[in-house]
Amino acid sequence: MLRNIFMATAALCFAGGALMTAPPRADDIAERARKLHLSSIVVDTHDDTTQRLLDGDFDLLPRNGSGSIDIPRMKEGGLAAIFFSIWIPSKINGSEAVKHALDQIDAVREQMRRHPTETTLATTAAEIREARKNGKIAALMGVEGGHMIASDLGVLRSYATLGVRYMTLTHSGNDEWADSSTDKAVHNGLTDFGKNVVREMNRLGVMVDISHVSDKTFYDALDVSRAPLIASHSSCRAICDAPRNMTDQMIKDLAAKGGVIQINYHVGFLSQEFRDAEKADPEINKAISAEVQKRCGEKEGCQLIEGDKITREYVEKGKLPRVDWTKIIEHIDHAVKVGGVDHVGLGSDFDGANMPYGMEDASKLPKITEALLRKGYSEGDVKKILGENTLRVMTEVERVSREMNAAR
Ligand SMILES: [Zn+2]
- Residue 24 or residue 350, greater confidence: 350
Within 8 A by CB and 6+ apart from 315, the residues are 321, 322
Q: How far apart are CA 53 and CA 224, in angstroms?
A: 35
Q: For the chain, report the end-to-end CA distance as a whole number of angstroms.
A: 67
Give pLDDT, residue 159: 98
Read off the pLDDT of residues 326-340 as tens digits, 9 standing for 90 and up.
999 999 999 999 999
Ligand 1: distance of its center to the CA of 378 in Å? Answer: 30
Read off the pLDDT of residues 293-303 as tens digits, 9 standing for 90 and up.
999 998 888 99
Ligand 1: distance of its center to the CA of 46 in Å? Answer: 8
Q: Average of pLDDT values for 200-215?
A: 98
**Counting beta carbons within 10 angstroms of the beta carbon of residue 54, is it exposed (0 to 12), middle (13 to 18) or buried (19 or more)?**
middle
Give pLDDT, residue 27: 75
Ligand 1: distance of its center to the CA of 110 in Å? Answer: 23
Query: Is the model's pLDDT at 2 over the cut of 70?
Result: no
Read off the pLDDT of residues 250-276 as tens digits, 9 standing for 90 and up.
999 999 999 999 999 999 999 999 999
Q: How far apart are CA 179 and CA 183, in angstroms?
A: 7
pTM: 0.92
Read off the pLDDT of residues 180-204 as tens digits, 9 standing for 90 and up.
999 999 999 999 999 999 999 999 9
Ligand 1: distance of its center to the CA of 233 in Å? Answer: 7
Name the average pLDDT for the chain: 93
Ligand 1: distance of its center to the CA of 50 in Å? Answer: 13
Ligand 1: distance of its center to the CA of 403 in Å? Answer: 31
Query: Is the model's pLDDT at 116 over the cut of 80?
Result: yes
